Every structure is written in C-alpha cells, then in structure tokens.
Structure 1
C-alpha cells in the first residue's frame, strides 16, 4: 500500500513501488485517475508518476484559454518531470495525453529544455486532432452540454472542470502533429482499441506508421476507454515487454497515493 504525503500545488502523486518510472498524462476530460487501475496492476513493476493538468483535480485552474494549449500543457509536463524524475523514464499518454506527449517531444527537440524519455506508451491517441470530432461545432452553452454528455459516455469517475475542457478543445482542435512523428527517435508502444469511436483505429495506425521505432498493439473489441475497459490485458502486454530491471531508476521525492 502506498502511504504518506500531502498533495502538492501541481497535484502530483506516485503509485506503485516498482523500478520502472512511468510519467503518465490523462485525456482532455479526465484526471490522473484514468491511469490508476493500470498503475495498481503494475505496482510491483512500475512507479507511476501521475500529474493532473490545470483545471483537473486539485491542480490550479487555468486563467484563460492560452493556458490550455498543447504547448502550455507540455510545459507543465516538463516542470513535473524536472521536479519529480531523476533517471530514465517512460512517457505515457492516453487520448489527449498522447498529444501532450508529442508536444513535449517537439519542445525537447527544438529547445532541449527537458530530458528525453527512454520509451513512449501511446494509448488511444491521434497525431491529427483536426480529424477527430470529440465535440461538434456549437455555441458555448451547447459545447458545455456536449462535454457533460461525453463525460458520462466515457464513464469518467473523476472529470475535469467543464470550462477548462471547453477552453482546451477550442485551443487544440485544429492541431496536426503528423509532421513531428518522423523526428521521434524514442521507441514507442502504441496501444489502441479496434472499436474506438473517439480516435478510430486508423489514428492509432497513423501513430504507429509515423514513429520510426513503434510497435502497434490492437485490443480487439475495445473502445476509447481501454485503460479501464482492458486494464488486465494492457498490464499483461506491458509485463511481457517491461521485464523488471535489477536496479531501480532514481526518482526524487513526491507524494504517494493514499488509500
């Protein structure tokens, strides 16, 4: 059982005590809670570092739409990694978290401000947000209603502030990151559900085909919420490919999940 620690101002916790460090980013409407089932399944193998992006959980709310761009979220991710990781790590993203991870890699490539991950884990994502329709074009009130409906459809037990989600969608929905994929030198594991209606399977294939050192793992019959729908299948796949190292990676001090 993980113990101790007050939540920090950026709302970061660690789950598990294994030697493989995984920094995992949630989706547009979720929180770090989306990763908790998998983190608990792999607690003996991994230590998951789970931040909440602004406007999620107890993390500080964004001041404006300018704080909700992929680049702004990537900078938040960079600060989290700088503060809480010291050594090799896996960078993981689910849904919009994949887009944030790609933005982080782009910033590292152009500015070298933060460390490169040893590996990527890209789940239910897309490099082409401009080609998905998570929310239809609509008035501000209708968008908030659509956000509430999608939150229920995805079964999010802990969800982001609706205004933050609206600002985020307006800021990111025209994004095309396909041109960045060829520059990624980090090996990647792309996991995608065959029945994903939010990021159809072709988007997972775009990621796997575009990243030079990517492996594509399709979960037949799974939808967008594979982290909770198929937790055991993902954990089994990762255990096969992430053998426990002999020595733990170094990490800095951070709060741990409380029961």
Structure 2
C-alpha cells in the first residue's frame, strides 16, 4: 500500500494585496527566480512564492516526489486560507501545479503554466521534449559537481540573443548565490520527476480557466508542449512570446506581469 505523503511547512514570503497569486519555481532554483516578475507585478496581487521542499529556505525531507510537492502545496493553501487563487507554475513547478489541481479545485480561480509541459522527456507519440538521456546525464553530472550543473542549466534557459551573456551571468550569480543550493535528494528527485512524469491524460479534467505562457524559442520545454497544453486544457488560452526562451519572466518581466495581471483580472 502506498504511503500517504507527509507535508512540510514551506518557506514563503508573501507580498502585495488582492487576489492570491501562488508562484511555483522550477528545478534546482528557488522562489528568488521570480524576483524580476514580482517587482513588475507591483501591488495589485497578493504574491505568494514558496520554496519547494529541499529548495531555497524550505526544509529538506527524505522524499521529494511529485506527490510530496502536491501535499506541501495543499498544506500551504490550507495554512494561509487561500481561496479564489491563481496558481502559476514554471517548468517543473507547472507539473506540480497541474498535479495539484484535483485537490485544490475548490480554492482555485485559475491556472497559469509558464514554460510548462505535461511530459518533459520524449516518448512514443510525444516529440515535444528532451531525450531521456539528457536528463539522465544531468543526474550523473549533478552527483559530481552540482554547482556547475545548476549554472549550466540556468545559462541554457535563455535563447540566443535574448539577453547579453553579461546580464545572464550576473543574474545567474545573483539567483544561485542568494539562496542555499537544493539538497541533493530533492534535486535528484526532481530530475526523476522530469524523467518519468506524464500528465497528458489529466489535462481534460482541468476545469479551471488556464493561461499558457510560452516562449517560442524555448529549448528546454519546446513550444509544441505549450501548444499541446493549450489545445488539451478545456478552458485554456495560449500567449506566445516571440524570441523568448525558458525563463521569459527573467528577461521580459513586464510583459509576463501584464499577461498574468490581465488574466487574473478576467477571472470570476
């Protein structure tokens, strides 16, 4: 019999007022990656950006599966008494958001998926992902030199010409050094999630309005993944960002903030 995940209290620093906007970061990083976006959003939303377990300032735990992240998120919603919230996930965080929808549906007004995908690696009938060997190699390299892997992953999130090398390096240093690195267990579990999780069969059951925000030069989660989400989610709208890579909220925070704020304003 499977063991029920035991939630932990995630570290979170809310800001602003209004409708709750919960931001879930991606693999290997922390909520600090949303700093440019939070600044661009201003005060119109109550922004809540937790660190996933084993990341940033949240405690580590023996297990960090997708189910664990969902349990932590549900506990956060209950602890903060969040209702009519907009749940936004980026990359791996988008998978956590999608997986949490069935348990959070009564508390959600909408869902936003930033550079998200229902399946990260390629499979039969699914070419909108990276080869599984790429993720497996990352796991091997992470065990040897985690700091180098995190730095290279961050650098690879940006499309050619999207940002100057100096700006990328400066932002990488700011974000990677400002927060503690992820625990080895959490980082490796996250790579295992990216390797194995497939949420394509769950999309039709998502009743909440959804915004799919995707860069058309995303080399980590190809643009076809965003188009697939927009086609399969029953109430989705796709916003393509021309020339943007995997983290447009870092290079074009004002544009992303406008899209999120507009979507939040349209929700009932």
Moved over 4 A (4+): none
8 Å contact from structure 1 (residues 189, 216) kept in 2: yes
What is the CA RMSD across the aligned residues, in angstroms? 2.6
8 Å contact from structure 1 (residues 78, 114) kept in 2: no
Distance 2:189 2:262 in 1: 39
Distance 1:80 1:87 in 2: 12
TM-score (norm 1): 0.80
Distance 2:212 2:259 in 1: 11
8 Å contact from structure 1 (residues 147, 166) kept in 2: no
Distance 1:194 1:139 in 2: 24
8 Å contact from structure 2 (residues 105, 208) kept in 1: no
Structure 1 regions of 5+ residues with no counterpart?
A: 1-7, 246-259
- The reply to whether residue 85 of structure 1 matches residue 55 of structure 2 is no
Higher helix share: 2
8 Å contact from structure 1 (residues 16, 39) kept in 2: no
TM-score (norm 2): 0.77
Q: After superposition, give the CA deviation of every residue in 1:41-90 in whole Å (9 maximum; x if it has no partner).
A: 22221011111111111211122xxx221111111111111111333110
Distance 2:45 2:255 in 1: 16
Alignment match, 1:121: 112
8 Å contact from structure 2 (residues 215, 244) kept in 1: yes
Total equivalences in the alignment: 230
Q: After superposition, give the CA deviation of every residue in 1:175-216 in whole Å (9 maximum; x if it has no partner).
A: 110000000000000000000000000000111111010000
Q: After superposition, give the CA deviation of every residue in 1:154-188 in whole Å (9 maximum; x if it has no partner).
A: 45413642612122212441111000000000000
- In the TM superposition, residue 243 of structure 1 has moved relative to its aligned partner by 3.5
SS in 2 for 1:129: coil
Alignment match, 1:256: none
Structure 2 regions of 5+ residues with no counterpart?
A: 1-7, 123-128, 158-167
Distance 1:221 1:152 in 2: 16
